[in-house]
Amino acid sequence: MDNLNGIVAFVRTAETLSFVAAGRKLGISASAVGKTIAKLERSLGVRLFHRTTRRVTLTDEGRDFHEHCHRILEDLREAEAMMSKAAQTPRGRLRVSLPVIGYRFLLPVLPAFSARYPHVELDLDFNDRLVDVVDGGFDAVIRSGTLTDSSLTSRRLGPFRFVLCASPGYAARTAPPRTLAELPEHACVRYRFPTTGKLQPWTLMADGSEPPNLRTAMTCNNMEALRGAVIAGFGIGFMPDFLAHDALASGMLVRVLDDHSIAPGQFSILWPSSRQLLPKLRVFVDFMCAHLFPEP
């Protein structure tokens, strides 16, 4: 109906029996109230008020109309309150892109997230290519390393560390290196970034650089494949601790140069700065920051 403003003005006037008092409640002048109600009366084809210089009273038609309009406005207020509450409830599909190995740290915490926010549908894209958040239609992305896109807002998810690992079989065949100087004598399984084609540096030196003359026995552009190759005994691998954790615990992998200080890595969650932080995204960001990489 086009006369909603007129109905509101009519109900306020019927409640106060005064254009002036109704105007105060609505934040407009008494004249504006009178003109709005006159327009409503012309639209309805009935007279809603008796007007004198001293008072305003409802006509019989006005009393009937007020009874219905009062209920309508109450229903509208109730509907507005319901929608406002729904808008604050996290719900809907949430598209998130993250590296393939991200399932190792993300999936273990998702049951607790879904139990807390059952109306959020997660649409996860595990992909090692660098996706465009906006053009790809993602609500957020999880990335490691240096962040360069200034159009994205970010929060740190927490650090992880890289570890050197080998299979027990490889360690039995070739005595594990005891120092960095011995590392070039061993077969190295290297990760090649799929986006740039460059080898991941093994930042093992005190200054954060890579030991010279490493011997590459195999390269993989997938961290899961690298892990599998190291478990199979191809050589020593350099991988995130969360990727090696289960295999180390089960004895499928052993640590190499365990006492050596290795520079940490960092994951962050990012989303478009121009995009409203909807409840579904807000709770996802907060939950992941709290649970993915908790402080020891």
Domains along the sequence of the chain with CATH: 4-87 (1.10.10.10), 90-296 (3.40.190.290)
Dihedral of the CA atoms 12, 13, 18, 19 (nearest 10)? 100
Which pairs count as long-range contacts for 106-113, CB under 8 Å and 24+ apart, including other chains? 106/142, 106/288, 106/292, 109/287, 109/288, 109/291, 109/292, 112/291, 113/284, 113/287, 113/291
User: At which residue do the structure tokens 């961290």 appear?
Assistant: 223
Q: Give the closest residue to 167 by CA, choosing from 50, 76, 283, 252.
A: 252
**Residue 261 has what pLDDT?**
58
In a 3-state reduction of DSSP, which class is residue 146? Answer: coil
- Paired with 271 in beta bridges are 153
**Residue 84 has what pLDDT?**
65
Tens digit of each residue's pLDDT, the chain (296 residues): 457 888 889 999 998 899 999 888 888 998 999 899 999 899 889 999 998 888 889 999 999 999 888 888 888 887 776 666 656 788 889 999 998 888 888 999 999 999 999 999 999 998 877 777 777 788 899 988 766 666 788 888 878 888 999 999 999 999 889 889 999 999 999 999 887 889 999 888 877 788 889 999 999 988 999 999 999 999 999 999 889 999 999 999 999 988 765 667 788 998 888 666 788 999 999 999 988 876 65
**How far, in Å, CA of 229 to CA of 189, rounded?**
7
Q: Taken in order 184, 185, 191, 196, is the CA torsion positive or negative?
A: positive
**Residue 167 has what pLDDT?**
95
Q: Where are the beta strands (DSSP E) in 64-134?
A: 92-98, 120-126
**How far, in Å, CA of 29 to CA of 36, rounded?**
11
Q: What φ, ψ does residue 120 adopt, rounded to 5°?
A: -95, 120
**Residue 85 has what pLDDT?**
63
**Residue 2 has what pLDDT?**
58
